[in-house]
Amino acid sequence: MQAAESTRRGLFSADGVRRGVRATIPMGVSVATYGVVFGMLARQTGLTFPENILMNVFVLAGAAQTVVLDSWAYPLPIASIVLTTLLINLRLLLLGAAAQPWLRELPARKVYPMLHIMVDEGWAIAMNARARGERDIGFFLGCNLAVVIAWMPAMAAGHLLGGELGDPAAIGLDFAFTVVFAAMLFGGYRGRFDLLPWAAAAVAALIGWRLLPGTWYVLIGGLAGFGAGFWRGKPTANTSYESDGVP
Amino acid sequence: MTIHPTALLAIALMAIVTYLTRAGGYWLLGRFTLSPRLEAGLSYLPGSVFIALVIPATIEEGPAGAIAIAVTAIVICRTNNLLLTLIAGIGTIYVARQLIG
């Protein structure tokens, strides 16, 4: 990779963006699928179309948004919504940290706006390509851009068409959230070392669910899993996103 | 087709904390290194939150819920296809409710 040395000032090309978008198209199919489901769930929950669009443009974090929908009832439990969002998105700290040695070649005024659209799937594809020698930061942008391009119209379509389904409970859709979360949970299983933190999260959540009002058990479960992972320490570090359904 | 003021507030706060996590890791690594322990702990946050959501909801639903979640787990692990998994999971809860009640 000696040749790439000449790009130390930060190679950032339109061609890189195009290649990043192209590399992410297969992933875009599953992103769009989840986008449709999210749009439907958001509508079923009672988000208006403009609210849903605002949330997706400015928050743009599917997992956290889905979890928050679960407790989206007026009066909105704002503290719990914001804390839950923070807790689920703390993992994005890792993504930004891992990409830092690459992105820092670009001026801060370009990097910080770009970080807003950094999403798990796009990040994973870009970082895999970098491990194989990709240096163009445009590629990083293209991967994340492709995910957003796949997500937005799918989500909007899901919201607009979701009303045609009728009563959600009659076709089992009231249980859809739980199914989505279970799919994300088991889909993210990395190996046996996951079991201890998962068990800690489960036990803590159950205790919180029995003893506390509202949805605080979600935060307690999340913190217990974090604590167990922290206490056990190293073995899992860095394997987290590399093997996550990425081509 | 309106925007509720509290919804706007919630979305704005969600947007702020989310952007802080996106920019924060990049910013921090320019100054400090994350310890492997902290990294390991952070990597468990999403999964732990999912567990915390799934288990009480499944208990509340009863046996039909447990069957649907088992089917969901099997299908996602075998196929890694989200759409197929959702159809299987939601289809199972629909059928199991008719059969078990």
Same domain, residue pair B1 and B26: yes
Determine contact: B1 vs chain A, CB below 8 A: yes
Last residue of a domain, which of A164, A198, A214?
A: A164
Same domain, residue pair A101 and A217: no
Contact status, residue B22 vs residue A92, Cβ threshold 8 Å: yes
Structure pTM?
0.78
Same domain, residue pair B50 and B98: yes
Q: Compare B13 and A7 and report the one with higher pLDDT.
A: B13
- Looking at CA atoms only, how far is residue A19 from chain B in angstroms? 23
- Looking at CA atoms only, how far is residue A136 from chain B in angstroms? 18
pLDDT for A240 beyond 60: no
pLDDT for A99 beyond 80: yes
Determine contact: B99 vs chain A, CB below 8 A: no
Same domain, residue pair B27 and B59: no
Last residue of a domain, which of A119, A135, A164?
A: A164
- Looking at CA atoms only, how far is residue A48 from chain B in angstroms? 6
Calculate what percentage of chain A has a pLDDT beyond 70. Answer: 88
Cβ separation B48–A221 shorter than 8 A: yes
Same domain, residue pair A58 and A123: yes
Mean pLDDT of A119-131: 88
pLDDT for B69 beyond 80: yes
Q: Ranked by mean pLDDT, which of A142-156, A210-224, B41-55 comes out on top?
A: A142-156
For residue A245, give both structure tokens: 């359904």
Same domain, residue pair A154 and A227: no
For residue A67, give both structure tokens: 């979890």
pLDDT for A4 beyond 50: no
Q: Compare A51 and A172 and report the one with higher pLDDT.
A: A51
Determine if the peptide bond prior to A75 is cis (ω within 30°): yes
DSSP A123-183: HHHHHHHHHTT---HHHHHHHHHHHHHHHHHHHHHHHHHGGGG--TGGGTGGGHHHHHHHH
Chain A positions in Cβ-Cβ contact with residue B70 (cut-off 8 Å): none
Same domain, residue pair A38 and A158: yes
Same domain, residue pair B88 and B61: yes
B40 within a domain of the structure (yes/no): no
Same domain, residue pair A101 and A16: yes
Q: What is the pLDDT of residue A234?
A: 59
Contact status, residue A37 vs residue B86, Cβ threshold 8 Å: yes
Tell me the C-alpha distance between A204 and A243, whole Å.
28
Residue B30 backbone dihedrals phi, psi, to 5 degrees: -70, -15
The total of other beta-carbon atoms located within 10 Å of residue B90's CB is 23
pLDDT confidence bin for A239, thresholds 50/70/90: very low
Q: Compare A231 and B101 and report the one with higher pLDDT.
A: A231
Report the range of poorest mean pLDDT among A31-40, A90-99, A201-210, A233-242: A233-242
No. of helices (H) and no. of strands (E), chain A: 12, 0
Q: What is the pLDDT of residue A184?
A: 82
Same domain, residue pair B28 and B53: no
Report the range of poorest mean pLDDT among A99-113, B12-26, B27-41: B27-41
Tell me the C-alpha distance between A211 and B86, whole Å.
31
A4 within a domain of the structure (yes/no): no
**Average pLDDT for chain A:** 86
Last residue of a domain, which of A113, A131, A164?
A: A164
C-alpha pair distances (Å), A179 with each of A182, A188, B73: 5, 14, 9
Same domain, residue pair B64 and B18: no
Cβ separation A202–B61 shorter than 8 A: no
Q: What is the pLDDT of residue B99?
A: 92
Determine contact: B93 vs chain A, CB below 8 A: yes
Quote the DSSP letter at residue A76.
P
Same domain, residue pair B11 and B52: no
The set of residues, in sequence order, having a beta carbon less than 8 Å from that of A44 and lying 6+ positions away, is A162, A168, A173
The ipTM assigned to this model is 0.86
Same domain, residue pair A25 and A133: yes
- Smallest CA–CA distance from B78 into chain A, residue: A187
Q: What is the pLDDT of residue A236?
A: 45
Q: Compare A121 and B64 and report the one with higher pLDDT.
A: B64
Domain extent, residue A89, equals: 10-164
Domain extent, residue B8, equals: 1-33
Q: What is the pLDDT of residue A241?
A: 42
Burial tier of A226 (Cβ tally within 10 Å: 0-12, 13-18, 19+): buried
The kind and range of the H/E element at A220 are helix A216-232
Number of domains in chain B: 2
